[in-house]
Each structure stands twice: as structure tokens, then as C-alpha cells.
Amino acid sequence: MSSAEPQAEPKAGPERRASSARARFPRPEPDRDSAPWWEAVRRHELTVQRCEGCGTLRFPARAVCNRCRGRAWEWVPARGTGRVYSWIVNHQVFMPAMAGEVPFPVLLVRLDDGEDLLMYGDLVDGSPGDLEPGLPVEAVFLDVDESTTLVGWRPLR
């Protein structure tokens, strides 16, 4: 790939800081398996896949069940809570729009719905110094523009 889609110019305005800053970040690119998940997030619903063959929950989205090899699934609501599994604190300015945002933590959260359910997301309303493995968090939905919502994680204590 040598060319990129033209990016819309960021709008200046009285938006909340977090939203306006994140609006300039690269957009998620849903694929066939993950598109329904992104649509649910847009509705502020956190979902995971459930195999229709054996009932196993799974995330990230994939086409085949690891347990029974079944190819039929449905999306079901997740509890929206989990525990910090690991995290990185990003200090790198990958693009000019991020210059005022670093450092920022990106969490990997193990959902309370199942051991194998791991989701990434920004830390919301917390500081990197508070992070520890097992810290309870809840999902929050960050509307960055009219078409995109991201999931972040807020500490529960």
C-alpha cells in the first residue's frame, strides 16, 4: 500500500478535550468479523461472540470456535467490567495530532465474563501511577465523532 485515504481535517471547537484529541487519531478499521462489534459499541453496548455450538464466549472476534470448531456464532452482551491484565504507557508521538497527548496508557483488560476475553482501550479518569494488575475497571464509551465510538476503561476504585 503506497497511498492512504485522505483524512478529514480535524474540527476545532468546544468539544471535550478527550473527544477532540482522540478524534484526530487513526480510525479503527473494522473487518468482516469485527464490524458488528464496532456497530454495537457505537450504540454504547459492549458485546462478545458466543459460539452457537458449545456456548463458549470469545473475543477478539473470529470466525471459528477454538473449542468445537463451530462456525455459527451470535453477539451477546458483556457485563462491561473487567480487570487490568497488562498495559503499556505510550510515550511515542506517532503522528502530530498526538503531540499533546503523550504519555498515555493503553490497557489490556480481561473481561469478567471469561478468562479468554481480552480487550484493549485507553485509561479513562485515572493516572498511570494507579495501575496495577487486577485493578477492577468498567467500560466507558467515547464518542469521538459522528461515526466512531471507542471503548475506554475507568478504574472502579
Which residue number, 52 or 125, has a Cβ lying nearer to Zn ion? 52
Q: Which of 67, 71, 93, 156 binds Zn ion (CB under 5 A)?
A: 67
Q: How would you classify residue 90: left for phi > 0, otherwise alpha for psi between -120 and 50, otherwise beta?
A: beta
Closest approach of Cβ 56 to Zn ion, in Å? Answer: 5
Q: Judged by CB under 5 A, does residue 46 bind Zn ion?
A: no
Does residue number 68 form part of the binding site for Zn ion (CB under 5 A)? yes
Q: Torsions phi, psi of 30, nearest 5?
A: -60, 140
Query: 22-47: string of b/e by CB count within 10 Å (b at 16+)?
Result: bbbbeeeeeeeebebbbebbeeeebb
Which parts of 69-98 interact with Zn ion (CB under 5 A)?
Answer: 70
Name the residues that contact Zn ion, by CB under 5 A: 51, 53-54, 56, 65, 67-68, 70
